[in-house]
Amino acid sequence: MKRIIKFRAYTEISNEVLGMKYDVSHNYNDTVMQFTGLLDKNSKEIYEGDICKDDVGHFMEIKFGELPLDKGGDCVCTYQSFYAKDHGKLGETPYYECNQIGNWFEIIGNIYENPDLLSSHPLTAKQ
Task: Identify whether the C-beta of residue 53 lies closer than 8 Å to the C-beta of residue 46.
Answer: no
* pLDDT tens string 80-98: 778 888 876 554 557 777 7
- Whole-Å CA distances, 58 to 24, 35, 93, 106, 122: 33, 21, 14, 11, 10
Residue 38 lies in a domain: yes
CA distances to 11, 64, 75, 89, 111 from 60, rounded to whole Å, are 22, 13, 26, 9, 10
Per-residue pLDDT tens digits for 9-63: 887 777 667 666 555 555 556 788 889 888 999 999 999 999 999 888 888 899 8
Would you give the end-to-end CA distance of the chain in angstroms?
40
What pLDDT does residue 82 have? Answer: 84
Burial class (CB in 10 A: 0-12, 13-18, 19+), 46: buried
Q: How many domains does the chain have?
A: 1
Residue 12 in any domain: the answer is yes
What is the reported pTM?
A: 0.75
Q: What is the pLDDT of residues 97-110, one digit of tens each?
A: 776 666 788 999 99
Specify the CATH number for the domain of residue 22. Answer: 2.30.30.290
Identify whether 1 is part of a domain: no
pLDDT value at 70 more than 60: no
